[in-house]
Amino acid sequence: MNNQTMSSNPSIALVTGANQGVGNEIAKALAAKGYVVYLGSRKLENGEKAAAAIGENAKAIQLDVTQQESIDAAVGRIQNEYGRLDLLVNNAGISHGGTAPKSPEELMATGRAVNVSIDEVRTVWETNVFAVIAVTQAALPLLRKSPAARIVNVSSGLGSLTWISDPECWAREHFGIVYAASKTALNAVTLAFAIELEKENIKVNATSPGYTATALNNFQGTDSLEVGSREPVRVALETDGPTGSFTGPEGPMPW
């Protein structure tokens, strides 16, 4: 750790899945606010391109959130370089287990409870649910060294059981076990960490970007990345906000 790092004392953030999409927009906004941002990317070269485009506050870091070895190595590097973490954004997510892009219609056709592939469920939940637990647990020793630690989990309105259980809600017909239910589970994970960490003054919140055009939905979303990243960025930057909340572009959301 050099003297310059110590004296300037910037806030340190890690954003998973930050080489593209909403994660990249969040990383850009944090870097613009003076944060040193680690851009987690499964393929390091993609992260390096994204970091170069953002500028000197951005650092690419190899991070496959489904591999414990990769998680431990990434956390170890942040420990060596800064010794703490102020903000963790669990943004990495996938909508299906295949390689070919799928339209929202295709996702729904293959994600229904009556015909869903258990392998596909496992693949998506591995990234969207279990990886969030693994990355958060690994990052906790560094977050505990921050005076204002926050964890932000990027969720989805589709994960809201309150919405889904309302017969009038538009989201009801889009609820499937692969992606949407993984976000319901993520919301539960968010609350579990929020309850546990409140006594340590570490804030844990879930936020939905809304229906944003990303690779997740084959770029069929109606909102731009800039619009979609607005609420996650607001929550990430809020050092004195609540904990255990779920918000979206329109404000508070029902669990």
> What's the pLDDT score for residue 172?
87
What is the mean pLDDT of each successive set of 10 residues along the chain, which is 255 residues long? 53 96 92 98 98 98 98 98 98 83 72 89 97 98 97 94 92 88 97 98 93 46 64 93 94 93
Tokens describing residue 109:
């056709």
* DSSP assignment of 54-102: H-TTEEEEE--TT-HHHHHHHHHHHHHHTS--SEEEE----S-SSSS--
Residues acting as catalytic residues: 179, 183
Per-residue confidence (pLDDT) for residue 215, from 0 to 100: 46
User: What's the domain range around 181?
Assistant: 3-252
Number of domains in the chain: 1
pLDDT of residue 250: 85
Helix (H) or strand (E) holding 206: strand 203-207
User: CATH no. for residue 59?
Assistant: 3.40.50.720
Instruction: Please tell me whether the overall predicted TM-score, pTM, comes out greater than 0.95 for this model.
Output: no
